[in-house]
Structure 1
Amino acid sequence: MAKRRITQETFDAAVRENMEEFEMDPDEALREAVEQFESQGVDLSCIVKAVPAASSNEKQEEQTHEVLQALDSLRIGKDSASVMEVTADMKSFTEHCSLGFAQRYLAAQKDAYPVILAYCKKSMEEQEAVFTAVSALAALTDGQPDLLDAEGQQFLLNVLKKYKADPSVTCVAICAVRRCCLKHEQNRQDLVKGGILPLLTGAMTQHSARAELVKEASAALRFMTFDDDVRVTFGHAHEHAKMIVLEQNGLKVLVEAAKAHLDNTSVLSELCATLSRLAVRNEFCQDICDLGGLKLIMTLLADSYESPELVRQVLSAIRAIAGNDDVKDAVVNAGGVQLIVIAMNRHMSNCAVCEQGCACLSVLALRKPNNCKVIMENGGALAAVQAMKTHANAVNVQKQACMLMRNLVSRMSNLSQPILELGAEALITQALQTHQDCGDVGKAALRDLGCKVELRELWTGKHGSLTH
């Protein structure tokens, strides 16, 4: 059932009442109001949980939240003041929007977007002013991509064209683009039509030494390949991925950027995540290898054992590019199986690493008897069994491990016995009982391992009484 919602004004009135009627101090009044509404099942995720501050103007009884005070000051000067004259208010607004979604939501409810956009357009000729204005826009639209309109889209594209030599302005403009493209298919399509892709890849190439900018641009490219807007039946995720690769030489841009940041795990992690999203065709997987991407990914896996997040992204990238059968062999020949198993054993307590590790080995084993042999010899099945034991409640770990067992034995029945000796049957049976989602893959694994499987006949198609 949907939770009830209240307005900010209702919440603020309750806090004020607690202070005036019940003489509570501000902190207690706030705590009491939160508890009161939550106990009534009210959703407070969009409510600023703070005591409104006294306004700086004459009317002392006029109390409002700091984000709205900053917005009011900006609104007063919207038609006459330049951005430089309201820099302090603009920075205050940005700061308060960055505190949490509730502050941004409240500002948007009070029509902040047209005010900020007016300053954005006014700031276009001066670097410092444009940086301040775009920062405010990026903060306001975080989690609220619907705010961005055609004017806002055009403004961001113009900023990226005009200030392409300026890394700080470029970085904050790309941040705004990224935020406006999350869960918003229309913004993605409009911006791509407006020419955002060459601006993103161009920024990565031009400012390849700037770690923060490379990360932002890589993330923005990745977001263009998402299909996460529930309001849209069919998105352009696949088309965008193809455009990034074929028209913007995106794979080369990403691989080159990774080579420039070999000592920065957070940048590498981001670049691997984006490469994974672009490996949507057999030939793209091969291209990543030919550009030195596979060698780079293998080096990362060998050198970055300490960072589970980077290991997870690297495994995800291997999983994506190993969809190509030639790449499967290249990964195995480069010692990939050993590295994946070592990574799984090192981070056995990390659910995401175990899931990606099993998935990687599963992809490498598919239709490749020789690879299955290598996976068995290097303890891949044992690592999967251990992962199943360690993460009994993680449905995706269980599914990927079952898939791996099945792929190992589907063309190599002689591997069934050694896998069963590791205790696989009991673990798969347990996964079937615990997780409904494991049904098909679990039963298929048991069947191919030569175990007895109960395949219930759900419906025979015959007429008759439902009672026995």
Structure 2
Amino acid sequence: MTLVISQETFNDAVRENIENLELSPEDAIRETVIQFESQGADLSSIVKEPPTYFESVKEQVVQLIELNKSKTTSKDIVEKLEAIKTECDKGIEYKVLLGEFGAYSIILDSLSNYENDDDVRKNCFKTLISLMNKQPDLLDDRGIEVVISHLEKDVDVETRRLTLKWTTVCCTWHELNRQKLFNANILDALKGMLIEGNSEILREALAVCRVLVLDDDVRVEFGKGYQHAKIIANDTLCSIITLLSRFRLEEQLINDLMITLSLLLVRTEFCKKVADAGGLEIIRAIMEIFQPNEKINKQCFKLLKAIAGNDECKIAIIQKNFAPVITAALQLNTRNIPTLAAGLYCVAALTLRCPENSKELFESGIPEVIIDIMKMYPNENIIQKSASWAVRNIVSRNRSQSKAFLELDIEELLLTSLKKFKEIEYDIKAALRDLGCNVQLKEEWTGQGGALTTGVSIYDD
């Protein structure tokens, strides 16, 4: 069991080593670290500095309090904020220490006292971002009011961008903060920004949309990410599609827009909404513009896979002449494993229980592309698994297409992978079975009690 110690306990041990063993501060810290680590203590959140350091940092916070009271010049306030930010930037343990010293409340005081001073306001937000990155617990009701007010006010673009960035930091790994901000109607402000489409703040606004639908707080058994996604999707999908068309040549924005769209497609009617709004044509145009761009194509593959969750949209995708575009994108982005895996999973989703799609992709030359990718990455589990899914779904309802795969020696490739990757044995054997190869399938459940050991999520039954 890991021993947990406080900063105070560590500091006391350092002082004892200085006083009793007459060690220098540096040697005393080194000795204290050795002592606690030998006892199995976790020192990851402990600041390992001499006693004088803590006095100086606390003094910086005290001085900021006094400067706020005296309503001094903004230059002095900015200097103190920058000093606190510098300490926070050193690591999480320094953020925790400054949080314990009350830096959060004092920074909000500075923001309130110097609300009309651009320099102070921006430096307050920058310092809050640094202080609360990976430490979102500090956010309270007062902070939520600050967020909402600065998103609704007529402030400069940089202040709004920093407010959004701070919001993302506050919501990451913190379900309660997400719910509080959502209940405070942050979505109204976000909708306005998406409609306005200011490229300088758009990426940060999209980041907030994404973080509001996450389920990454291990302290909470059930989050509201799905409910948030439904509401956000209902109110913003059309705006995002419009932005996707408007900024189709801007790589960073296109990437963020597609990531956001993929996270919001939590219901099949949303997929249909994207298709009806012309989303498929826009995605195809983006794939054609950014053919050799690995990052963009990866997000396009993921987005198409999400849209294919709607059976009607799945058919529409191939009817929009995506088969040759997908095949070409896989051929042109062979250096990036995550992109290839995303593409193969996309093919698997498009061909699931859809022989018409299988036929179109088959005729576009997808078998040769899949085989080449499998040969290129024989030791990559994710490639062999996604390729197995794609092959299985292509041939499962078009058995006549098995011949082409077999002539390309896919059986040998799959059998080789079967020996290497026992964890994807079921996936490979399913592909071999539907190719008509001789394979012995393991019976996962006999009705005698116990649990299934294999989850099948995208296979054709």
TM-score w.r.t. structure 2 length? 0.84
Do the aligned residues in 2 keep the contact of 1:3 with 1:43 (CA within 8 Å)? yes
What is residue 55 of structure 1 aligned with on the other side? Answer: none
Pairing 1:53-452 to 2, within 5 Å after superposition:
62-64=52-54, 70-81=60-71, 84=74, 85-163=76-154, 165-206=155-196, 208-211=197-200, 213-246=201-234, 248=235, 250-452=236-438
CA RMSD of aligned residues (A): 3.4
For residue 356 of structure 1, give the secondary structure of its aligned residue in structure 2: helix
- Unaligned residue ranges in structure 2 (runs of 5+): 450-461
Q: Deviations over 1:269-305 (max 9, x none)?
A: 1111001111122221122122232222212211113
AA matched with 2:251: T
Report the 3-state secondary structure (helix = DSSP H, G, I; strand = E; otherwise coil) of the residue aligned with 1:348: coil
Contact 1:4 1:42 in 2 (8 A): yes
Which letter maps to 2:289? D
Structure 1 portions without partners, runs of 5+? 53-60, 464-468
Q: Distance in 2 between matches of 1:459 and 1:287?
A: 40
Go from structure 1 to structure 2 and tell me whether the alpha carbon gap of 1:238 and 1:99 turns closer, same or farther (over 3 Å shift).
Answer: same
**Distance across 2 between alignment mates of 1:441 and 1:82:** 68
Q: Tell me: CA distance 1:306–1:411, structure 2 relative to 1, closer, same or farther (3 Å).
A: closer
SS at match of 2:436: coil
Amino acid at match of 1:147: L
CA contact (8 A) 1:121 1:155 kept: no
Q: Deviation digits for residues 89-127 of structure 1, max 9, x if unmatched? A: 112323442454343233224332222233233344544
Aligned residues of 1:83 and 1:123 also touching (Cα < 8 A) = no
Out of 324-333 and 30-39, give the one that drifted further.
30-39
- Aligned-residue offset at 1:142: 1.0
- Identity, in percent, stands at 32
Query: How far apart are residue 35 of structure 1 and its match?
Result: 9.4
Map of 1:56 onto structure 2 = none
Contact map agreement 1:67 1:97 (CA 8 A) in 2: no
Structure 1 window deviating more from structure 2 (175-184 vs 328-337): it is 328-337
Q: 1:132 to 1:406 in 2, by over 3 A?
A: same
SS of 1:385's partner is helix
Give the direction of change, closer, same or farther, for the CA distance of 1:253–1:44 in structure 2 (3 Å limit): farther
2:45 aligned residue: 46
Specify whether residues 459 and 236 from structure 1 end up closer, same or farther in structure 2 by C-alpha distance, changes over 3 A only: closer
Listed one character per residue, the Cα deviations across residues 228-247 of structure 1 (whole Å, up to 9, x for unaligned) are 2222222212211111122x
**2: distance between equivalents of 1:452 and 1:388?**
20
Q: Is the 8 A contact 2:280 2:320 kept in 1?
A: no
Match of 1:456 in 2: 442
Structure 1 distance, partners of 2:315, 2:40, is 56
* Matched positions, count: 446
| Native 8 Å contact 1:108 1:140 kept in 2 | yes
Q: Say which is worse superposed, 397-406 or 5-14, in terms of deviation.
A: 5-14
Bigger mean CA deviation after superposition, 104-113 or 397-406: 104-113
Q: Return the offset for 1:3.
A: 8.1
Helix, strand or coil at the partner of 1:319: helix
